[in-house]
Amino acid sequence: MNKRVYGILGIVSKMSNWNADFTGYPKTTSNGDVFGSDKAFKYPLKKMWEQQGEKVAYIKSLKLYENKKGETELIPRSLKERYEYIFSVEDLKKDKDSKTVLTNLFKAIDVKNFGATFAEEGNNISITGAVQIGQGFNKYAETNAEEQQILSPFRDASKKEGKANEDQDEAKASTLGTKIVSNEAHYFYPFTINPATYDEFKVLGVTDGYTEEDYKKFKEASLVAATSFSTNAKIGCENEFALFVETQRDLYLPDLSQYISFKKGEEKNTISLQCNELLNELQDKISNIEIYYNPYTTIVEEKIKGAKKFNIFTKKEV
């Protein structure tokens, strides 16, 4: 692929939790700004690719394991075991050829996009990904965390019936759980795609580089992966916006998400792009600009020359 790509990927979260910290609350910076990590965005992409039959290396998978007591346990695979599983390798310890390992890793779609650190059995390999996704900051000022109490249909079996009435009541009661969500949040992630990252690996003969087909797969998944990933915590999370700016290889743009703002409206929300002047002055080095959004809930304000707008669900031009 003989171009760079810069852009923004937007996620809406309504009564859901797009990216929780270890306390269960939506992730925040030290000054209270709500944000989502790049890992939160990459995970739905990986799950979608895996479901489509693509090789995905860096994702949790399980196996049955017989422990020393002869009991069968369900445990996650190690990185070595995951590699052996998806590439049908009998034993990585016997494979000392780093070129073979590199070639296999580049066959995994997540590695081809995001790179990898692979330090297993004598193979110490680091691949910087052609696709880099930054932290996605929430641009909606009225975001609040909501804590919901959930009643379980089962009692806690570890609480045994005792002599005291209070103990008996506790033993017989159903257990309580907690679900924490955001009332509403709008995350905007910056991303860049630099195919030149793999030029060195092309010389080594382990990959054909980052291709137009790779870009197409990333683009298609990044527009729908959050919407498709309907777990209990993510059921209210959807793709709502995307900006793709395709440029010459020698053009270097800043983080475009800093030039975006969000405003809540009564009927429709407004996403405003303030990078109009920047992109218009560089038109001679920009080959294509596409904006995807949800026209049923959102208005996009921009004055970018030649920008095409599309319905993020139907992919039809608006």
Q: What is the mean pLDDT of residues 71-95?
A: 92
Q: What is the mean pLDDT of residues 78-100?
A: 91
pLDDT above 90 as % of the chain:
79
Confidence at residue 16, expressed as pLDDT on a 0 to 100 scale: 92
Coil vs helix vs strand at 307: coil
pLDDT digits (tens, 9 = 90+) for 26-70: 999 999 999 999 999 999 999 999 999 999 999 999 999 888 888
Indicate whether 275 pLDDT > 70.
yes
Contact 37, 27 (CB under 8 A): yes
Domain boundaries, the chain: 4-49+116-142+182-311, 148-179
**Residues 116-127: pLDDT tens digits?**
999 887 788 999
Q: What is the pLDDT of residue 230?
A: 67
CB 245 within 8 A of CB 192: no
Backbone angles phi, psi at 114, to 5 degrees: -105, -5
Would you say 8 and 192 are in contact if contact means Cβ atoms under 8 Å apart?
no
Rg (CA), the chain: 23
Q: Identify the burial level of 178 via C-beta atoms within 10 angstroms of its C-beta, where 0-12 means exposed, 13-18 middle and 19 or more buried.
A: exposed
For residue 79, pLDDT over 90 is answered with: yes
pLDDT mean over 154-163 = 64
Confidence at residue 264, expressed as pLDDT on a 0 to 100 scale: 96
CB 296 within 8 A of CB 289: no
Answer yes or no: is pLDDT of 174 > 90: no
Instruction: Decide which of 163 and 222 is more confident.
Output: 222
pLDDT score for 158:
67
- Single pTM value for the model: 0.90
pLDDT digits (tens, 9 = 90+) for 198-236: 999 999 999 999 999 999 999 999 999 999 886 655 788
Which residue in the block uniquely carries the two structure tokens 């998400």?
257
Residue pair 269/299 in contact by the 8 Å Cβ criterion: yes
* Torsion (CA) 81, 85, 89, 91 in degrees, nearest 10: 20
Residue 151's DSSP bridge partners are 176
